[in-house]
């Protein structure tokens, strides 16, 4: 948990306009931490920083009603389906009106797949 707080603090210092996204981002990052702990996969600090920046940008897009361009379906073949499913899971919040589309889930899943591959080896 301290790692998440440190990452969010570091990101907020680089961009002061991120302050409004801290709380929502922290909840998502905590879900990610919990899921990876269950998978017994350690997330290195540099990966936390990348994921934190991505999650804060996601929160900003959802808050502002922005959408990313659709990702080509072929790109999904490069990422393990369980990492895409995990990404959808952590980006969806029961009490939230936010709908993480496939593009958002794919982009976060890229981070997850990189971490998984670093520790488990290629599949």
pLDDT of residue 82: 93
DSSP, res 40: T
Q: Could you tell me where the DSSP H helices lie in the chain?
A: 2-14, 22-38, 45-64, 81-91, 102-120
First to last CA, the chain: 30
pTM (2 d.p.): 0.82
| Tokens coding 41 | 């996969």
pLDDT of residue 115: 93
Written as tens digits, the pLDDT of the chain (123 aa) is 677 778 777 777 666 565 677 888 888 999 999 999 999 999 999 999 999 989 988 998 988 889 999 988 888 888 999 999 999 999 986 556 677 888 999 999 999 999 988 887 665
């Amino acid at each position: 948990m301290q790692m998440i707080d440190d990452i969010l603090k570091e990101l907020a210092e680089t961009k002061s306009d991120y302050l409004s996204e801290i709380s929502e981002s922290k909840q998502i990052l905590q879900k990610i931490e919990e899921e990876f702990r269950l998978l017994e996969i350690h997330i290195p600090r540099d990966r936390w920083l990348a994921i934190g920046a991505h999650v804060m940008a996601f929160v900003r897009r959802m808050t502002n009603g922005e959408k990313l361009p659709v990702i080509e379906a072929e790109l999904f073949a490069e990422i393990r389906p369980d990492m895409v499913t995990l990404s959808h899971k952590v980006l969806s919040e029961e009490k939230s009106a936010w709908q993480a589309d496939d593009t958002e889930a794919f982009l976060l899943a890229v981070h997850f797949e990189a971490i998984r591959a670093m520790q488990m080896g290629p599949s």
